[in-house]
Amino acid sequence: MTKSISLLGSTGSIGRQTLDVVRELGVRVAALTANSSVDLIEKQAREFHPRLVVLYDHDAAKELRGRLADVGIEVGSGMEGLVAAASLPEADTVVTAVVGMIGLKPTLKAIECKKRIALANKETLVCAGELVMDEVARCGAELIPVDSEHSAIFQCLQGCRDRSEIKRLLLTCSGGPFYGLSYEELAGKSRADALKHPNWSMGAKITIDSATLMNKGLEIIEAMRLYRLPLSQVDAVIHRQSIVHSLVEFRDGALLAQMGTPDMKLPIRYALTFPTRVVSSAEPLDLLKCAPLTFAAPDEDAFRCLAIARRCAKQGGTSCAIMNGANEAAVGAFLDERIGFNDIPALVEAALSEITQVSSPSLEEILEADRLARESVAKAIKRL
Ligand code: NAD
Ligand code: MG
């Protein structure tokens, strides 16, 4: 069980919920990191007394250094700071709750240092999953998923000694706020409409990904990498109630599911306490009170991001990194209200057709694919 964590992305939705779990479990906090939220991270630092606090933004870090001068906590900045937090000797576990590809280098560092990695940062596995998983095996690190679907699968696989018994992983998908709409009806959807998720309260980027269904596409790739399975053995099903968090189908026809109320603290807690389960004050699921459970096929004609992700999952190479980089840039532009909802899949498609793909890429080639994808989206937006 985890004794001390470095928490990357402590001011975000997963980061704040991780600190709630940490309070409950009495786990120590060795490092906290965020992008630029000086006020919140100062408050967190004063409560948890970590050895190191990092803000990626240099000016914000300078401001924080001044504010924390009285408590003697070291303040770092930039990628160097994130990597230092990921490799701090006093932390046995690194929780990666940053959003986006920015999490890749710190995750690789944590793997190299043989930490337990509680991984929420799915973009890292989407862009460089094969490389990351090879490093996990080479270094003997432990990677435990925090994403609710992947945690559900991880839980269903406890006791499965032979991975060839798995027939299929089935990821559930809430369908997001626009379930049932056609491609044409999606066109006019605004930032405010897309930020209203029916079941989960999450950071802005993943909430938009949940509205476009890119989130499910990213998660299919995440599951393929985590469990080393081909696309033909990973599928998604719409389940509006978010009670069944995902399922594993075995070759004898048995389907195992993990169920519960939609609450990210459960997968966070499990990643920290694995292989044990601890008593928790979380609201239990009352089967007699929950809505009837329904399942349906996703509509990939309307939600084109899911179809794009499946195509990239099949192609492999740098296509997933290009798709992810273009999506991060397009979602950023949608959140700034510079583009429309259906421009997101269009810009990702354009980046994929414009940029030459590389098979079996190195880390440098993945980073370059990501850079080119963001550049392609920025140029395309200027032309809109
Ligand atoms: P969020 O936007 O609420 O928080 C992101 C965190 O990352 C913040 O602390 C922010 O300061 C930090 N950050 C952002 N840019 C950074 C940068 N350039 N350098 C350093 N730190 C930076 O996001 P979230 O919803 O908590 O999601 C975090 C990750 O977890 C994402 O990859 C998301 O897909 C995944 N995830 C989230 C949920 C959820 O319920 N929120 C569920 C499953 C998976
Ligand atoms: Mg998820």
Q: Is 367 in the pocket of ligand 1 (CB under 6 A)?
A: no
Q: Is 34 in the pocket of ligand 1 (CB under 6 A)?
A: yes
CA dist., res. 268 & res. 264, Å (int): 6
Name the token pair of 90. Answer: 């006093």
Q: Do the Cβ atoms of 32 and 223 come closer than 8 Å?
A: no
User: What is residue 201's predicted lDDT score, i.e. its pLDDT?
Assistant: 87
CA dist., res. 237 & res. 213, Å (int): 11
For residue 296, give the DSSP letter: B
SS3 assignment, position 305: helix
Span from the CA of 94 to the centroid of ligand 1 (angstroms): 14
Q: Is 56 in the pocket of ligand 1 (CB under 6 A)?
A: yes
CA dist., res. 25 & res. 41, Å (int): 20
- Note the helical H segments in the chain: 13-25, 38-48, 58-67, 78-86, 104-112, 122-139, 148-156, 183-186, 191-194, 204-212, 214-227, 265-273, 304-315, 319-335, 343-354, 363-383
SS3 assignment, position 169: strand
Q: How far apart are the first and last CA of the chain?
A: 52
What type of residue sits at position 192?
Answer: A
Span from the CA of 211 to the centroid of ligand 1 (angstroms): 17
Residue of the CA atom closest to atom 42 of ligand 1: 147
- Residue by residue, pLDDT tens for the chain (384 residues) are 899 999 999 999 999 999 999 999 999 999 999 999 999 999 999 999 999 999 999 999 999 999 999 999 999 999 999 999 999 999 999 999 999 999 999 999 999 999 999 999 999 999 999 999 999 999 999 999 999 999 999 999 999 999 999 999 999 999 999 999 999 999 999 999 999 988 888 999 999 999 999 999 999 999 999 999 999 999 999 999 999 999 999 999 999 999 999 999 999 999 999 999 999 988 899 999 999 999 999 999 999 999 999 999 999 999 999 999 999 999 999 999 999 999 999 999 999 999 999 999 999 999 999 999 999 999 999 998
Name the token pair of 179. Answer: 């379930």
Q: Is 200 in the pocket of ligand 1 (CB under 6 A)?
A: yes
Q: Do the Cβ atoms of 375 and 327 come closer than 8 Å?
A: no
**Mutation pick for ligand 1 pocket among 17, 36, 202 (CB with most ligand atoms within 8 Å):** 202
**Mutation pick for ligand 1 pocket among 13, 40, 125 (CB with most ligand atoms within 8 Å):** 13
Kind and range of the H or E element at 338?
none
Which of 187-190's residues contact partners 24+ apart within 8 Å by CB, and which partners? 187/340, 187/341, 187/342, 188/340, 188/341, 189/341, 190/337, 190/341
Q: Is 318 in the pocket of ligand 1 (CB under 6 A)?
A: no
Ligand nearest to the CA of 172: 2
CA dist., res. 118 & res. 146, Å (int): 6
Q: Is 351 in the pocket of ligand 1 (CB under 6 A)?
A: no
Q: Is 53 in the pocket of ligand 1 (CB under 6 A)?
A: no
Name the token pair of 169. Answer: 């992983």
CA dist., res. 175 & res. 178, Å (int): 7
Specify the pairing of strand 244-250 against strand 166-173.
antiparallel
Ligand 1 atom closest to 34 (CA): 11
User: What is residue 199's predicted lDDT score, i.e. its pLDDT?
Assistant: 83
Residue 197 makes CB contacts below 8 A (sequence gap 6+) with 174, 176, 177, 207, 210, 211
Span from the CA of 222 to the centroid of ligand 2 (angstroms): 10
User: What is residue 281's predicted lDDT score, i.e. its pLDDT?
Assistant: 87
Q: Is 245 in the pocket of ligand 1 (CB under 6 A)?
A: no
Q: Is 224 in the pocket of ligand 1 (CB under 6 A)?
A: no
Q: What string of DSSP letters covers 206-264?
A: HHHHHHHTHHHHHHHHHHHHHHT--GGGEEEEE-TT--EEEEEEETTS-EEEEE--S-T
Residue 303 makes CB contacts below 8 A (sequence gap 6+) with 186, 212, 213
* All structural domains of the chain: 4-145 (3.40.50.720), 148-262+282-314 (no CATH), 316-384 (1.10.1740.10)
Ligand nearest to the CA of 40: 1
